[in-house]
Amino acid sequence: MAERADRIQIAWHEFEAVLFDLDGVVTDTASVHLAAWTRMFSELLSQYCRERGLPFEPFRPQDYRQYVDGRPRLDGLRAFLTSRQIELPEGTPDDGPDDLTVHGLGERKTGYFLEQIRAEGVTTYTSTLDLIERLRAAGLLIGLVTASRNRREILRAAGIEGLFDATVDGIDRAELALPGKPHPDTFVEAARRLGTAPERSVVVEDATAGVAAGRRGGFALVIGVDRVGQPEALREAGADIVVSDLAEITIRRAAVAADGAPPSDAEEISDPWLWVYDSFEPAEEGRRETLLALGNGYFVTRGAASDARADGVHYPGTYLAGGYNRLVSIIEGEEFEHEDLVNLPN
C-alpha cells in the first residue's frame, strides 16, 4: 500500500489498475472550464440582478470548486443556482444556448468551453503522462473517468486519444443512468470495463467530489492532486495521499523472485546527481523552494513547481542582478535605506 511519511512509497504490484480524472489531472482544462463557467454565470447573474434590482455578486473560483468542479455539468449548475437562491425552469435537452433554462445554460457553457479549446488547443500535464507511461510499463491498466461530455474532443485536441485502456465519460454516465461524482458509480463502471475491482484499483483526482467518489467506492488507494491550495479539503474528502503534482509519486523497481512471486520489498532507483523530495509538506515548501533555487550569479529562479502560483504555500520567484527597488524604512526612529531584489515576471 502506501506509507504516509517523509517519502511516498507505493507498492504498485498490489494493484491492477489506476483510474485518472481528466480535467486538472491529465489535462490543464480545469482552468478552461472555470473560464467558461465564469463567462456563462457572469452573463446570467448580471441579467438576473439587473432585472430584480439586486446587487451583483460575481461567480468566484471558490464557487467553482465548491459547487461545480468534478460534478456532472447540470448537477454543478443546479448546485450553484441553489446556493444563490435562483430558480430557473429545467428545460429539455433540446434547449439552445440562448434559452434561460438549466439545460440551455449548460449548452451555453459547453459552447464557450469548446470555443476556447478549438482556438487554443489543450495542454497536458507532462508529469501525469510520465507516470502513466511508467505505470503501464509496470503492467497496470489505465482508465479515465470524467464528467465531461466532451472527452473525445479534449483527448483529440491534446493528442492522447489512445492513452487509456477504458474510459467512462459524461455521455456514458447518461446512457447508463449512473449518478455522477461524488457517487462512486462511474469509477466502479470504469474498473468493471478494465476487468478489475475497486479493491484492486487506485483513483487519482483533483476535485473533492472525485476524491469522495473514490473513497465511497471502496477503492484501495485514493490520491488527491492539489493544484489550487486545498490539501486539507482533499484529505477531508477521503484522499489517502495528497500531492501538488504527480511527479511526487515514484515508481520503484523490484527484482521478481525466482518462483515468479510479487516482490516483497522494492528497491529505490537512486541517482547521486538528483536531489528529490518524494512528499508534499506545505509547511516545508518555502524552505524546499529556497534550497532548490538555481542561479549563476546574474540570474536566479526559486525551485517552485512550474505550475505553482504565489499563495500561502508556494512563492515562485525569478530575480536578475540589478533588478531591485530602493526603500527607506523607519526602525526605532531611525531611517534605514534598503535595496531589495524585485521578483520579475515568472
DSSP state string for 163-181: S-SEEE-HHHHHHHT---T
Q: Which one of the listed residues 21, 75, 169, 206 is annotated catalytic?
A: 21
Contact in structure between 211 and 239 (CB atoms under 8 Å): yes
- Quick one: which H or E segment has residue 141? strand 141-145
Q: Which one of the listed residues 6, 23, 94, 226 is annotated catalytic?
A: 23
The grid coordinates listed for 43 are 452573463
Contact in structure between 191 and 141 (CB atoms under 8 Å): no
Among this protein's residues, is 23 annotated catalytic? yes
The CA distance from 39 to 47, in Å, is 13
The CA dihedral of 168, 78, 207, 23, to the nearest 10 degrees, is: 50
Closest Cα partner for 70 from 151, 152, 229, 181?
181
Grouping H, G, I as helix, E, B as strand and the rest as coil, residue 325 is strand
Contact in structure between 307 and 30 (CB atoms under 8 Å): no
The CA distance from 188 to 329, in Å, is 61
Give 80: exposed, middle or buried? Use CB within 10 Å, 0-12, 13-18, 19+: buried
Output Rg (C-alpha) for the chain, integer angstroms. 23
Among this protein's residues, is 99 annotated catalytic? no
Residues labelled catalytic: 21, 23
